[in-house]
Amino acid sequence: MRKARKKKRQKMLKNLIEKDPFLTDEELADKFEVSIQTIRLDRMEMGIPEMRERTKNLAQNAYQRLTSVTEGEVIGELIELELNKYAESYLRATEDMALKKTPIIRGHHIFAQANSLAVAAIDAEIVLTGSSEVKFQKIAKVGEILKAKAYVRKYKKNKYYIDVNTYSDEDEIFSSSFVMFAKKKGEIQE
């Protein structure tokens, strides 16, 4: 009976981590109503690394494909990238991003994550933002993990239309549509 429960928990644990690699051992322990140590043992038995290592591995794979920006120019951690199609990043909201008197995150941090992700999604030497339409739908607070997802809706020659949505847990907090322009180094006057 115990082995069957353990096997079932481990299967569910693996599925949850595949779906959301940012889940901490503490969060998983709460979901399964077991100790943190039980989660760690389950992970080790199945060869699943801790959250920091999982996200580091995702980021390394995504950063290797960047063409328009360098690793330090992406706001947040890039975790998935399929050039000219899709990109995803996460940003842990910290106190230095918040308004001085509240734990509410200032909007320019959320916008910067979305804009840099739109740039990263394009396979070009240089990518410039032409325009954007943005909508803040909910506030974000210190401690939340903001997941941004960019989708290249369409492109023609050097003009790209990209939608970026940002979530905290399952709640959409920000949506944006960008028009981006891809350029070659020789097309930019210094």
CB neighbour list of residue 161: distance below 8 Å, 6 or more residues apart: 152, 153, 154, 155, 177, 178, 179, 180
Q: At 13, phi and psi to the nearest 5?
A: -60, -50
| Nearest CA-CA partner of 28 in 54, 4, 2 | 54
pLDDT in tens, 77-112: 888 888 899 999 989 999 999 999 999 999 999 999
> pLDDT value at position 189?
60
Whether the model pTM is above 0.95: no
For residue 51 the two structure tokens come to 């959250």
Which domains does the chain possess?
A: 2-48 (1.10.10.10), 68-187 (3.10.129.10)
- For the segment 40-63, what is each residue's pLDDT rounded down to a tens digit? 888 888 888 777 777 666 655 555
